[in-house]
Structure 1
Amino acid sequence: MEALIPVINKLQDVFSTVGADAIQLPQIIVVGTQSSGKSSVIESLVGRSFLPRGIGIVTRRPLVLQLVYCPKGDNQHRSAEDGTLDLEEWGMFMHTKNKIYTDFDEIRTEIENETERMAGKNKCICPEPISLKIYSTRVVNLTLVDLPGITKVPVGDQPEDIESQIRELVLKYIANPNSIILAVVTANADMATSESLKLAKECDPDGRRTLAVVTKLDLMDAGTDAIDILCGRVIPVKLGIIGVVNRSQQDIMDNKTIKDALKDEAVFLQKKYPTLANRNGTPYLAKTLNRLLMHHIRDCLPDLKTRVNVMVSQFQSLLNSYGDDVSDKSQTLLQIITKFASAYCATIEGTARNIETTELCGGARICYIFHETFGRTLDSIHPLTGLTKMDILTAIRNATGPRPALFVPEVSFELLVKRQIRRLEEPSLRCVELVHEEMQRIIQHCGTEVQQEMLRFPKLHECIVDVVTQLLRRRLPATNSMVENIVAIELAYINTKHPDFHKDATVVSSLLKSVEEDDSSIKVVNKNKFHSNVQPNLVGDVGKDMMKNQVSRGLGNDPTNNTAGWLATILPASRGDVKDNSTENSGSPQSDSGKNVLSPQKPVNLLPDVSIQASRKLSDREQRDCDVIERLIKSYFYIVRKSIQDSVPKAVMHFLVNFVKDNLQSELVTHLYKSDQADELLNESEHIAQRRREAADMLKALQRANHIISEIRETHMW
């Protein structure tokens, strides 16, 4: 079991080279307020004075101290090359490699210099630890960590938050569940006010790994003693409470040796606390710490071994993800290009290894654009959007010219349906734009393996993105042109013989035929009625007045009289005031009122008033014609929309998606592989190179640690 502490010391050496905090090694953490005697306790355990001393805060960096028992016959730690065969004790720093320190004053100077190098010459602290090994024939195997003393008020040029900095540093170490907390308190102060015990209780509420050390027993007020404290009656601590007597500042100034100080400590304890003398003092503290640490290591070792194995696997995977050093750059470049092209196509086809589960990407998103976004947009376009009854009626009139039409002109239908078909062009081009954006976005979703290569070689990543972007941009005009041509093809020829449209046209034709047959009989009756009321030889003002009366009674709006229908909508509202020119040609050109209706100064307004035309009620014939056109427009628009909804995705797939898939690798090879820029493109990112080195060092340390732990047999643990 004595071999357990050297094992932890070896592990400490291994991980101190890589600065790994993830491996929580068992160690003893010395915690106490400033000037509570922490350094004196550690020096008493070592038996030599080697720690910096002074007024105020002196320990400003954590000191990881490994005490190694090294008898004269220990060939493992002693060698003639180092000159340590006959030495009683010596020290070694991790940062000075294999330099041997036989003078402990030099060790103190080196600690001071290393502290100033990292923490500066002021009173600031630094969390980077100093690792020191002391080999001696008079120590027990221990691993101690001396931390800066807890303080409350900043002094000198210390930062204002010095208290919180020290507190965070102390909590970082004692929060390790594998650590033993050595809480140092002074006997001449109330134990209930101890900051070290307060912090220990925060991280160890049950007190299972806390040991209290009471210093300055010889400085208590006269008439008082520490029996209640040492017996645990004031504040119980599960691992026990041990009292020690340290050297005073005067003793240090008088160069009193620690050996003499230990003798005086034994005499004081025997005199002052005779019943507790055998369970207190520095020698008893050293043996207790050694025993606690060995048992603690025994309990922590199985979990420690499991954690090391897990971390070996994790760092091995991490190192593999960073890749090996590039030997053949040309071959590596071709492999990366091929891998990227394959991953890009696999993302589109949906055959990628790592499929996204949080969002649609690649081919699935393109499918969504085709059938959801584009499809819903086309479905939301109504065939008659932006088309009013008056627009249809105006188109019908414009298509008839000066002659009244007996039937609805086909030209008006073509004019109006083309206007509506053009509305399908904008969403079709927007569909192309969305697919193009997704093709650009796929570059960032090509799989974790390719992404790792892209991070490793940023210059190559930049060039690949540029090549793919240029390829997509070159294909965009051709795709847009094809989509525009699809709409233009539909506009070029209105196929009224389309099978689906022909059915609706036949239904409309049959309906119109039945309506016209009904209208023909009405026309005959109205014609006879008109001729019976108006005699042919009636002329002059009487004839004019009768004609005006017929018009004002609505004869001109009769749906059975097509010419009168056009007349009623064309004539202005004041048309009744215009005189009949045929009666005035026989006499003077002047009217009864003396006005010349043919005078060019005030021509007759034959155009309808827009506001009146838009608000007036349509006749039955006009309403029927508009309904016919609307029905035909709807029928043909749905046919064209269905065709475009089917043709545009096919065009986008052929001209953009499939073309890029088929030509991506050749495009990359043409622009990258044949450019003789392999050395420049495969310049590795310094960030990735640094992380690979760190991962490799950590993996070596973990493998070494695993080997060290594996050397321990089960018999060593009991």
Structure 2
Amino acid sequence: MAEEPASPSPAPSPAAAAAAAAASPLGNSVIPIVNKLQDIFAQLGSQSTIELPQVSVVGSQSSGKSSVLESLVGRDFLPRGSEICTRRPLVLQLLQTKRKPDGAEEEYGEFLHLPGKRFYDFSDIRREIQAETEREAGGNKGVSDKQIRLKIFSPNVLDITLVDLPGLTKVPVGDQPSDIEARIRTMIMSYIKVPSCLILAVTPANSDLANSDALQMAGMADPDGHRTIGVITKLDIMDRGTDARNLLLGKVIPLRLGYVGVVNRSQEDIMLNRSIKDALVAEEKFFRSRPVYNGLADRCGVPQLAKKLNQILVQHIKAVLPGLKSRISTALVSVAKEHASYGEITESKAGQGALLLNILSKYSDAFSSMVEGKNEAMSTSELSGGARIHYIFQSIFVKSLEEVDPCEDLTDDDIRTAIQNATGPKSALFVPEVPFEVLIRRQIARLLDPSIQCARFIYDELMKISHRCLVNELQRFPVLRKRMDEVIGNFLWEGLEPSETMIGHIIEMEMDYINTSHPNFVGGSKAVELAMQQIKSSRVSLPLSRQKDGVENDKAPTSERSVKSRGILARQVNGIIPDQGVRPGADAEKVAPSGKSPSKLRWICMLNI
């Protein structure tokens, strides 16, 4: 890096020099440690909750952010262009190294995603940044929030950690979504809103400072201005007769950490391959030739910006170090406890086999305990385990069976039609068995669905029991836990299929065989006996009505009384009604109990098996 540009301002005070000398050893020791922690936490990703100090560079598109970073490094290594170039956050760690004994300088870069590979040609670093950006964000101006981490080792830099964020843009181009501005703002705010982050707000001098997007976002994230450093670029292209003195002095928009003015290379200088070393000499010459900047030596030039960033970063780390140490210690204790809970590592095959057998045994014991109700972690809010299985059988399944109406979709017409179809062209002296079996099979088949549903409920509960069997040793082996879940799930599912098949067979057995010897089975003689008992009870309950109707009964024709007596006698023969033509409707009503026909009564009794 070029030497510090001379300035007509007085030399720094001895106190300031002593402070800088005291800060340098602290920075040389602390900043590399913070960089190592950043690399470790970057590999953890979102699992890390510890926020480390860093400097985020914020600015609008083409405000000169990349030029400022290259000036700090002293090398060309960032993608450049008139359109958006920074499309992924670039975490740039500058690490100061010592020169070789012969005075030679060794400068190189390393990427975190390419460990062990050194890039001595900074053009290769630029190409790798472009290639890595396109791998994640595409090749047509897309933007991604995934970081690229780069370390620059050089004796010409100071220990600083910078984050180059995508520039703010208004109009989407290429593959950028319509809300690209909101997305970039959200990405930037996720970095600068962290209290441990310093904000480097880059604003070109040829634009209105009051309309600076960088200062606006910095003011939102840091309203008190304790963490914001202003950088004024492009001082050499300001309108004639204007200068940035008031801006650098903080008279327009004050910042507690102040402003630093820099002069970057122009696009023409870049096209002509003008080196950054020559650009720093030109910057020094520019400030010397402008009397308006006299007395602002500590606020002008890239070298002053590097020193200021290094000192502020060291002071910031010193301020947040106690809290950072406390958080790391707390996280370390928590991780140590978790590590201890995993137990010792077993490398021998015999030890691994014994450990696996022990885990499976504990898992089986835990499963059995939950089924038998001996689990120590018993729930008091809901039924689980064996109690839930018992509830499924005794409540849910029984209720579903009780809801099955044996006479649903079974009418007298269905019964009459089935009997007539079974007798064919002849009149039957006895009720045939075929229609009875046909109708009863149809009703028994309705028991299949609730039985299958009960089996699936049991399967689901067994799967829940399996998932709740938490063995401490399984926390060490998440892959084993996942594999056990798969095996147990397949085992239970393989058992569910034959269970459903067996349930279907049982229902088919009930449909194929009717146990007429069962005491609840109502046969023909039993049905006649029940009918006669109902007739006798109705005669006893209505003696008065029959006495009144006695005279009318005597007047009835003898032929009619004989028909009635034959009908009653016919019903006594095993409940079979011979074909006697049309019976009087009044006689049918007297015999049928509760308004139901005798045939419906017999079928209902037979269905109650």
TM-score of Structure 1 vs Structure 2, range by shorter chain: 0.5 to 0.7
Match of 2:130 in 1: 115
User: Match of 1:219?
Assistant: 237
Partner of 1:29: 56
Contact 1:183 1:200 in 2 (8 A): yes
SS of the residue corresponding to residue 6 of structure 1 reads helix
In the alignment, what sits opposite 2:107? 90
Partner of 2:164: 146
- Following the alignment from structure 2 to structure 1, what is the Cα–Cα distance between the partners of residues 257 and 328? 28
Instruction: Indicate whether 1:129 and 2:129 are aligned.
Output: no
Partners of 2:335 and 2:35 in 1: CA distance: 24
Work out whether 1:263 is the aligned partner of 2:284.
yes
Q: Which amino acid aligns with 1:257?
A: D
**1:45 corresponds to 2:45:** no
Q: What amino acid maps onto 1:512 in structure 2?
A: S
Write out per-residue CA displacement over residues 394-441 of structure 1, whole angstroms, 9 at most, x where no aligned residue. Answer: 9xxxxxxxxxxxxxxxx99x9999999989845654443223213433
Match of 1:274 in 2: 294
Asked if the contact 1:556/1:565 (under 8 Å) is kept, the reply is no
Within 1, Cα distance between the matches of 2:43 and 2:490? 42
SS in 1 for 2:94: strand
**Does residue 1:56 correspond to 2:90, yes or no?**
no
How far apart, in 2, do the equivalents of 1:511 and 1:50 lie?
117
How do 1:623-634 and structure 2 match up within 5 A?
A: 623-624=592-593
The answer on 1:469 being equivalent to 2:493 is yes
Judge conservation of contact 1:350–1:363 (CA < 8 Å) in 2.
yes
For the pair 1:242 / 2:260, whether they are aligned, the reply is yes
Per the TM alignment, residue 257 of structure 1 is displaced from its structure 2 partner at its CA by 3.0
Matched residue of 1:286: which SS?
helix
SS at match of 2:107: strand
Q: Within the alignment, does 1:12 sit opposite 2:38 as a pair?
A: yes
SS in 2 for 1:189: coil
User: Which residue does the alignment assign to 2:16?
Assistant: none
User: Retained in 1: the 8 A contact 2:198–2:228?
Assistant: yes
CA RMSD of aligned residues (A): 5.6
Q: What whole-Å deviation, never above 9, does each CA across 1:282-315 have from its counterpart, x for those lacking one?
A: 3443333223323333444455445546666479
User: In the alignment, is residue 437 of structure 1 matched against residue 446 of structure 2?
Assistant: no
User: Quick one: structure 1 residues 90 and 631, their matched pair in 2 at CA, closer, same or farther if it must change by over 3 Å?
Assistant: same
CA contact (8 A) 1:140 1:290 kept: yes
Q: Which residue of 1 aligns with 2:575?
A: none
- 1: CA distance, partners of 2:460 / 2:95: 60
CA–CA separation in structure 1 for the residues paired with 2:235 and 2:229 = 17
Question: Residue in 2 aligned with 1:682?
Answer: none
Greater Rg, structure 1 or structure 2?
Answer: 1
The answer to whether the aligner puts 1:65 opposite 2:65 as a matched pair is: no
Amino acid at match of 1:142: I
**Could you tell me which of 241, 244, 247 is aligned with 1:229?**
247
> Cα offset for 1:335?
5.8
Map of 2:175 onto structure 1: 159
Give the drift of 1:224: 1.8
CA distance in 2, matches of 1:444, 1:140: 60
Distance of aligned partners of 1:171 and 1:357 in 2 relative to their CA distance in 1, 3 Å threshold: farther
Q: SS of the counterpart of 1:235?
A: coil
Partner of residue 518, structure 2: 493
Which residues of 2 match residues 374-453 of structure 1 at below 5 A? 374-380=397-403, 425-426=444-445, 428-442=447-461, 444-445=463-464, 446-447=466-467, 449=470
- Give the distance between the partners of 1:557 and 1:304, measured in 2 at CA: 113
TM-score under structure 2 length normalisation = 0.66
Counterpart residue number, 1:183: 201
Corresponding residue for residue 193 of structure 1: 211
1:370: which partner in 2? 393
**CA, structure 1 residues 50+199, in 2 after alignment: closer, same or farther (shift >3 Å)?**
same
Q: Following TM superposition, by how much is the alpha carbon of 1:27 offset from its aligned partner in structure 2, in angstroms? A: 0.8
Quote the residue 1:602 is aligned against.
none
In the alignment, what sits opposite 1:297?
Answer: 317
Given that 1:369 and 1:434 are in contact with CA atoms closer than 8 Å, whether structure 2 keeps it comes out as no
Partner of 1:667: none
**1:608 counterpart (544, 568, 582):** 582
Secondary structure (helix, strand or coil) at the match of 1:51 reads coil
Aligned counterparts of 2:521 and 2:234: Cα–Cα separation in 1: 111
Cα displacement (A) at 1:141? 2.6
Residue 381 of structure 1 deviates from its aligned partner by: 5.2
CA deviation string 1:181-220 (max 9, x = no partner): 2111011111233232344345445544322211122321
- Cα distance in 2 between the residues matched to 1:456 and 1:365: 28
Contact 2:389 2:461 in 1 (8 A): no
How far, CA to CA, are the matches of 2:101 and 2:605 in structure 1? 103
Cα displacement (A) at 1:357:
9.7
Give the aligned residue type for 2:134: A
Worse-superposed segment, 414-423 or 346-355: 414-423
User: In 2, distance between residues paired with 1:262 and 1:528?
Assistant: 137
* Paired AA for residue 582 in structure 2: P
Count of equivalent residues: 536
Are the equivalent residues in 1 in contact too, given 2:55–2:161 (CA < 8 A)?
A: yes
**What SS does structure 1 have at the residue aligned with 2:58?**
strand
Matches of 2:509 and 2:244, distance apart in 1: 101
Structure 1 residue 174, shift from structure 2 partner: 3.3
Match of 1:688 in 2: none
Are 1:217 and 1:226, in contact at CA under 8 Å, matched by a contact in 2? yes
Task: Rate the CA distance shift 1:294–1:310 in 2: closer, same or farther, 3 A.
Answer: same
Instruction: Tell me the distance in 2 between the aligned counterparts of 1:289 and 1:358.
Output: 59
| 1:42 CA displacement | 2.6
1:581 counterpart residue number: none
Deviation digits for residues 605-664 of structure 1 (CA, Å, limit 9, x no counterpart) = 96439xxx8xx56666325586899999999999x79xxxxxxxxxxxxxxxxxxxxxxx
1:621 to 572, 590, 602: 590
Distance 1:56 1:351, change over 3 A: farther
For the structure 1 residues 289 and 117, does the alpha-carbon distance in structure 2 shift closer, same or farther, using more than 3 Å as the test?
Answer: closer
Q: TM-score, normalised by structure 1?
A: 0.58
| Matched-pair contact (CA < 8 Å) for 1:362–1:438 | no
Taking the aligned partners of 1:513 and 1:53, their CA distance within structure 2 comes to 107
> How far apart in 2 are the matches of 1:617 and 1:433?
48
Q: Tell me, what secondary structure is at the counterpart of 1:66?
A: strand
Work out whether residues 344 and 442 of structure 1, in 8 Å CA contact, stay in contact via their aligned partners in 2: no
Relative to structure 1, the CA distance from residue 343 to residue 267 in structure 2 (aligned partners, 3 Å threshold; closer, same or farther) is same
Between 1 and 2, higher relative CO (CA 8 Å, sep ≥ 6) is seen in 1
Distance 1:251 1:493, change over 3 A: closer
